[in-house]
Structure 1
Amino acid sequence: MSTLQKLSELEAHKVAILNGYDEEAKKAALDKGKLTARDRVTHLLDENSFVEIGTFVTSKTFTCKDQKVNTPADGVVCGYGTVEGNLVYVYSQDPTVLGGAIGEMHAKKIAKTYDDAIKMGAPVIGFIDTVGLRLEESIEALNGYGMIFNKMSKASGVIPQIAVICGDCAGGVSFVAGLSDFTFMSTKNGKMYLNSPNTLEDKNASFDHVATANVHLRESGLAVWGEESEQVLIGKIRELLTYLPLNSEQETPCLNCMDDLNRVDSSLNDFDFDVRQISEIIASIVDNGMYFEVGEHYGAKVFTGFARMNGATVGFVANKEEAMDLAALQKTTQFVSFCDGFNIPIVTLTNIKYIESTVATERLGIIKAASKLAFAFANATVPKVNVILKEAYGTAYTLMNSKHIGADYVYAWPTAQVSTMNSESAVKIMYEEALQNAENPAELMQEKVKAYEEEHSSVYAVAGHGYIDDIIEPAATRKRVIAALEVLYTKQVANHLKKHPTV
């Protein structure tokens, strides 16, 4: 056979693979507004950058209902390409091939993708659209699950991992989302659950109660972003990737900053906390007012997200409300841990009075959740800058990247109050008997509050104890934070010898 004939044979094999899907399954997917597995990859990567790996892989001896079944690419498209010129690895499950079910060779392709990504130090993005395990492959399919979980665990903290739930993500496959750093989800077609609703003890349970994007964006916190259109969803993934380093050994991306480093915003000098939003402060101080919020709807009492200052990526944590609840604590802990793992400096904007607890959250372990947040900030070795905006009370303030648990630089606006609790409550406790016996309790209360604030909660008193490095003009927040981050660029921390933390 001549070389031309061999090339013709090769082309015929490729065409057979590209067209080997189930026509009815493809039509059903397109009718739902889904992209094909290959189109998802094409939309994610830069034009003409995709290189497929394992194109000719297929199931070894696969039969379904005693019939031989063709499994082109074994139901998952794998390879590498670039996003904005940066290398990424990708796998995309194909629901038109046995519903995207995971078998031995399918899993081996994903595991190979992870091996290559770890060696090359590049992120992995996985498009999940599968009915789950191939029961016909039995223990080999279960071994496939284990291989994937093992590779993801080894990649954690080494390369960024992003899961994209485009369709079904049921049973053990849902652990892929749990092991990923960020999970994006189709609000139209995405369904993620460990056990089907009809197996749960609540007979009124439905997919709407446990599996939809709304559940995971707002209640479980597994998903950080949702969109109805897959194209828009993929666009958001591309945007997020521009903020992230390729791996834990690289510095954060740094773009040419076209914004004035010394820009001031006089509107911050009379910022009305009762009317305006914390996101307005963030937009005011970051480059070009642009930021990427992570997990907006879960733990909504706190902002977590990425922005750029002087062109470099910074992770922001900021209080949206005066309290943090269980969800906010958990979201913040995960975000701080990610930033520390990937060398992203952390800037906190603190305005918090207390940790919000209920009987339910006490039983669910809010104490442990708060402890984990304290550990995350204290353990983080990246540059840490805190700006206290208004109230900062009690242990809640301590948790928010305070000087007490290791912040490198702490600044405060003149509007800040720092204390164990608000002045009125403290005075009522300290002078309860005197207030009860006073001829004019209101006058005594006012006198004691003023004295308490001057001695204990005044921002100047706290700065006098060395817990605030400087009291700054709000308008100048941008340039002061940038200056601090520049100084901290060469920060080094000697770690104590330990295998790993246990919190």
Structure 2
Amino acid sequence: MTISSPLIDVANLPDINTTAGKIADLKARRAEAHFPMGEKAVEKVHAAGRLTARERLDYLLDEGSFIETDQLARHRTTAFGLGAKRPATDGIVTGWGTIDGREVCIFSQDGTVFGGALGEVYGEKMIKIMELAIDTGRPLIGLYEGAGARIQDGAVSLDFISQTFYQNIQASGVIPQISVIMGACAGGNAYGPALTDFVVMVDKTSKMFVTGPDVIKTVTGEEITQEELGGATTHMVTAGNSHYTAATDEEALDWVQDLVSFLPSNNRSYAPMEDFDEEEGGVEENITADDLKLDEIIPDSATVPYDVRDVIECLTDDGEYLEIQADRAENVVIAFGRIEGQSVGFVANQPTQFAGCLDIDSSEKAARFVRTCDAFNIPIVMLVDVPGFLPGAGQEYGGILRRGAKLLYAYGEATVPKITVTMRKAYGGAYCVMGSKGLGSDINLAWPTAQIAVMGAAGAVGFIYRKELMAADAKGLDTVALAKSFEREYEDHMLNPYHAAERGLIDAVILPSETRGQISRNLRLLKHKNVTRPARKHGNMPL
């Protein structure tokens, strides 16, 4: 029995007994691989305002750089009528190319072929390119659009899905892994992106869930749409699985190009340095107009917020940075930027949200980012203005001790250069978590507006002057005015950076306008940092 693709015109096949015929045959097979389900399938994708699997590759990679692997692969299944349906590529395009001249390995799932469901040959192709990425130390980018395991392939499809997970795990911390959800990503296929470093989704187009709405309704009676269950907003704001939400396919791929520029190719290399003239002379001699803005950014009142993004903008080259998970746990801002051309990861408390308090979601968001920076040799800069952990029974019941400890663990474990700048509040346990000297920070700087203490004035007065206030109350005196005077005394004595600086917990108290210069010069020194850790299989992070 001859098994062939339904898209090949058997009657007009070239004479493969001649050289010209063999060449024509190859060209025909290549052409089919570009339209495995025909041009109507492509038109349907375009009608939905989306790019095809190949168009996504062409858009993301440098022009003409894509080298395809396993282009002519076809599935081997004959059951359930699949013997007559053997489209080229088997539903996934794999290969490698360049982004801004840097090599990356890539796969693009094709939802027009069997709904993008993973079968045996599809799985083999995907695993081969993942192994190639690991072996060559190149970033792995996955463009996802698939319905999980191919039912007709039976248990073997499940095993290949498991093997792709295994490759994700082997690659973790070795090469950057970026997933872009370009359509529906369901069932087992949804776990792959969750194992990678960054997930990008397209608003109203991307869907990602393990169990779909129909099954949920059947089992629980709950009615929910795909968008509500697994849309881009859900995974950014609620579930925290996504790192960026794009409006279109093109915007998602543009963001990936920017992201790759901040990352090294692997854990044994460094992110590419941008051209930047290293400043000569002292910090004071190189203060710019943007630097001077920082001298006015902290309000006189400690209860008035400001946007910490303005600080990041003043510190980075040309004021440019790439924020990660901007709409998730907004009380912490995480972002990549550059200082003197060097890629740096920022973790900053955001006073405009919960006064910058840490909570469950922000702790996990920051911890994941810190571990990513550490895995790929990217220095970490902490910008601190934190009054504490967000109080409440919901936080305690939700596991703030265990989940907040993730940030403690991640920062303490990190061996990359670590610089902390305390801008305003640094109270209690949150002080410890946000890059304290005792947790392993290399350089700790503070602004004169810094308040480093166990707690704020109002809370401290209730402990320190409790007896005095009780005695005054018993005498009928004005305890409110007395408490205010005690608060001012506490503020003058404790709520400043000098108490900590006298004890070596702060390496230098600096003018805000000196921050960029101080960070850049300390980063030059810390390039030569060498840390030896105790031998162990791995730590036991509080997951």
| TM-score bucket (shorter structure) | over 0.9
User: Aligned match of 1:297 in 302, 307, 327?
Assistant: 327
Residue 351, structure 1, aligned to residue 351, structure 2: no
Instruction: Using the TM superposition, name which of 190-199 and 108-117 deviates more.
Output: 190-199
Indicate the residue corresponding to 1:384 in structure 2.
418
Contact 2:359-2:404 within 8 A present in 1 as well: no
Measured after TM superposition, the shift of residue 404 of structure 1 is 1.7
Partners of 1:100 and 1:23 lie apart in 2 by 17
User: Aligned match of 1:320 in 340, 350, 369?
Assistant: 350
Partners of 2:328 and 2:82 lie apart in 1 by 46
| TM-score normalized by the length of structure 1 | 0.96
Q: Give the match's secondary structure for 1:304.
A: strand
Contact 2:449-2:496 within 8 A present in 1 as well: no
Contact 2:34-2:54 within 8 A present in 1 as well: no
Partners of 1:366 and 1:62 lie apart in 2 by 53
Indicate the residue corresponding to 1:263 in structure 2.
287
Partners of 2:293 and 2:35 lie apart in 1 by 60
Partners of 1:170 and 1:22 lie apart in 2 by 24
Contact 2:453-2:495 within 8 A present in 1 as well: yes
- Aligned-pair identity in percent equals 33
Q: Give the match's secondary structure for 2:160.
A: helix
Partners of 1:124 and 1:225 lie apart in 2 by 18
Instruction: Using the TM superposition, name which of 193-202 and 443-452 deviates more.
Output: 443-452
Partners of 1:259 and 1:235 lie apart in 2 by 29
Partners of 1:109 and 1:364 lie apart in 2 by 41
Where does the alignment leave 5 or more consecutive residues of structure 1 unmatched? none
User: Aligned match of 1:476 in 467, 491, 514?
Assistant: 514
Residue 236, structure 1, aligned to residue 270, structure 2: no
Aligned alpha-carbon RMSD (Å): 1.7
Instruction: Using the TM superposition, name which of 314-323 and 12-21 deviates more.
Output: 12-21
Q: Give the match's secondary structure for 2:154.
A: helix
Contact 2:261-2:271 within 8 A present in 1 as well: no
Letter in 1 for 2:228: H
Letter in 2 for 1:352: V
Deviation beyond 6 Å, 4+ runs, structure 1: none
Q: Give the match's secondary structure for 1:330.
A: helix
Partners of 2:52 and 2:135 lie apart in 1 by 29
Change (3 A) 1:443 1:97: closer
User: Aligned match of 2:199 in 159, 183, 208?
Assistant: 183
Contact 1:22-1:97 within 8 A present in 2 as well: no
Change (3 A) 1:202 1:364: farther
Partners of 1:309 and 1:72 lie apart in 2 by 47
Indicate the residue corresponding to 2:448 in structure 1.
414
Letter in 2 for 1:182: F
Indicate the residue corresponding to 1:89 in structure 2.
105
Residue 213, structure 1, aligned to residue 251, structure 2: no
Change (3 A) 1:202 1:381: farther
Measured after TM superposition, the shift of residue 431 of structure 1 is 1.2
Partners of 2:496 and 2:114 lie apart in 1 by 66
Residue 133, structure 1, aligned to residue 163, structure 2: no
Contact 1:456-1:462 within 8 A present in 2 as well: no
User: Aligned match of 2:273 in 251, 254, 274?
Assistant: 254
Instruction: Using the TM superposition, name which of 435-444 and 137-146 deviates more.
Output: 435-444
Indicate the residue corresponding to 2:532 in structure 1.
494
Number of residue equivalences = 503
Letter in 1 for 2:256: I
Work out which of the two has the higher radius of gyration on C-alpha atoms and give 1 or 2.
Answer: 2
Instruction: Using the TM superposition, name which of 18-27 and 208-217 deviates more.
Output: 18-27
Measured after TM superposition, the shift of residue 66 of structure 1 is 6.1
Where does the alignment leave 5 or more consecutive residues of structure 2 unmatched? 1-16, 281-285
Change (3 A) 1:436 1:408: same
Change (3 A) 1:228 1:450: closer
1:336-355, Cα deviation, whole Å (9 max, x unpaired): 00000000000010000111
Contact 1:80-1:89 within 8 A present in 2 as well: yes
| TM-score normalized by the length of structure 2 | 0.89
Measured after TM superposition, the shift of residue 502 of structure 1 is 0.8
